[in-house]
Amino acid sequence: QQQVKQSPQSLIVQKGGISIINCAYENTAFDYFPWYQQFPGKGPALLIAIRPDVSEKKEGRFTISFNKSAKQFSLHIMDSQPGDSATYFCAASPETGANNLFFGTGTRLTVIP
Amino acid sequence: DAGITQSPRHKVTETGTPVTLRCHQTENHRYMYWYRQDPGHGLRLIHYSYGVKDTDKGEVSDGYSVSRSKTEDFLLTLESATSSQTSVYFCAISEYGQANTEAFFGQGTRLTVV
């Protein structure tokens, strides 16, 4: 059973466009919501993360929007660039301990010039 | 990459043979994790460690064991490899636990069981 549901599975965006990836969860104990970026042949790397006490977090061209009541969060990539082409994973973790980081199934983003 | 070395990077093994994957870190982080990555599943936690000789199971631990005799090394063992364990395995480390801080991932080990 997938604890974090992610969509779409793949996404093609024109350079300069906005890429949007959505995730949803059910477990209200989740308290930490990171996004990881993975290039082919590499391990995932943290891109940006949010906690449920804020509804939005922005870092450069990357923004997380968080809707606690709907148990949904999304990643927006503004002015998408070919260098952003990668697989993106949302994840969620409960508040305490070294517990599991539950990952979504990933979105393969392709930004075409 | 944040001082994490996985070895080997690629391995092909036969069904029924034991296999050990190694993760070595130079960051002195307390927590270490083994994940497997499969299409359609994302990354799933196999086992993790919160200190020397302290380990616990993740969501897909069946068929795997781990050991941590030193802070810097975390070993993943497949006692008797099966084709369903064909996957890409990632080691990760974090300083305070994944609930609160960034997890750093290694480059991965691609394991094929034939």
Residue A103 forms contact with B (CB below 8 Å): yes
- pLDDT, one tens digit per residue, over A59-91 is 999 999 999 999 999 999 999 999 999 999 999
Q: What φ, ψ does residue B83 adopt, rounded to 5°?
A: -60, -30
- CA B74 to chain A, closest CA, distance in angstroms equals 16
Residues 51-80 of B with CB under 8 A from A: 56, 58-59
Position A81 scores a pLDDT of 98
Question: Would you tell me how many other CB atoms lie within 10 Å of the CB of residue A113?
Answer: 7
Question: With 70 as the cut, is the pLDDT of residue A96 above it?
Answer: no
Burial of A54 (0-12, 13-18, 19+ CB in 10 A): exposed
CB contact under 8 A, A43 and B108: yes
- pLDDT, one tens digit per residue, over B50-72 is 999 999 999 899 999 999 999 99
- Interface test with chain B among A21, A95, A101, by most B beta carbons within 10 Å: A101
Nearest to B88 by CA among B29, B26, B43, B28: B43
Mean pLDDT (whole number) for B10-24: 97
Most confident of A58-72, A94-108, B93-107: A58-72
Position A109 scores a pLDDT of 98
Binning pLDDT at 50, 70 and 90, where does residue A95 land? confident
Position B72 scores a pLDDT of 97
